[in-house]
Amino acid sequence: MGLQHMAAGLARDIWQSLGNRAKAVLSVACIASCALFLFAGRWFGIPRHPGYEVSLTLQPAPATTLALVTVMVLLAAAVGTVIAGAIRFDAGLFAAAVGLATLSCRGGPIRYVTQAAPGHGVFLALAVELGLLGLMLGAAWLGLWLLFRGGHLAGDEIKDGLKDQPHSLADRATALALQAAGTAMLVILLARTDDKKQVLSAVAVASLLSSLLAYSIVPARPSVCFWAGPIIAGVVGYVAAYLSWGSVDPVTWKSGQGGGLFMPLARPLPLDYASLGTAGAILGYWTSRQWQRAKELETEAIQATAAPTH
């Protein structure tokens, strides 16, 4: 819990470091996104049994449910961009990810998903679901990236003053691997039960801290190099749970506890990883760039002070 308290304090400091206008605009975008997902979830019955199994692929009409969520993600990203696109070009994606958490909170913990499932194949279904959610978020991000490339949205360099440097594919892959590995390790430490509040906070904290760490080692861009990390970590967790099913009493699995080193990775649901995992990673990326720029300004000030005068 000490790590969570530290991360909570860090998140509070990060939030306070944003200007009043930025905080207000981002808050409005997130509220609009949450309202959209809340209304759509109630209107279309996602999940079918509120408070219980919220896996999208295990709903009565999974294809229709996934299509509806895709539309909601894209619409939330568009609305968020209209409201907060002047803050960051991917602020709309941040808002859409926060909105997804509203949909997740309409359901219950992982135990209700495993109890309703006939066997361990449920974990492969969860892995596929998380992959599809990652593709939805990726489609929204790609649309924002194309708007940025077309000059319709301002990039990170304009917003934080940090000059963009060229990065190789290897740099971006390394940053992504570091972020995913960090998220996985921290979720293992923090997700001790499948309680909804605990898994959501575990994923958010892990993603935020892992982005800060990964960027400090490999300061790559764009943000997809970091927010895709929680998606990968979750898929790995579900596959590990599927493979280790036979070594643990099935009753233990169905209780939401399971066993083995990687089981905590399977306690968050796909919507948990895709929502606060994505949002936490993006916030960590924004903050890392701000910190790097602050260091540059400090160095420039020291050099200017030390420069000989004529």
**Tokens, residue 99:** 């909105």
Output the average pLDDT for the chain.
Answer: 87
Closest CA to 116 of 164, 74, 58, 67: 58
- All residue ranges of the chain with pLDDT < 70 are 1-19, 246-260, 300, 303, 307-310
Cis-peptide into 47, omega within 30 deg: yes
Contact by Cβ (8 Å): 172, 223: no
pLDDT tens, 125-140? 999 999 999 999 999 9
pLDDT tens for 31-75 read 999 999 999 999 999 998 888 888 999 898 999 999 999 999 999
Q: In terms of C-beta density within 10 A (0-12 exposed, 13-18 middle, 19 or more buried), how is residue 199 classed?
A: buried
b/e for 109-142, b at 16 or more Cβ within 10 A? bbbbbbeebeebebbebbbbbbebbbebbbebbe
Q: Which residues contact 38 (CB under 8 A, 6 or more apart)?
A: 102, 103, 106
Task: With residue 295 as reference, give the H or E element that holds it.
Answer: helix 278-306
For residue 6, the model assigns a pLDDT of 63
Do residues 188 and 261 make contact, with C-beta atoms less than 8 angstroms apart? yes
- What are the domain boundaries of the chain? 16-306
Enter the tokens of residue 192: 């001790």
pTM, two decimal places: 0.90
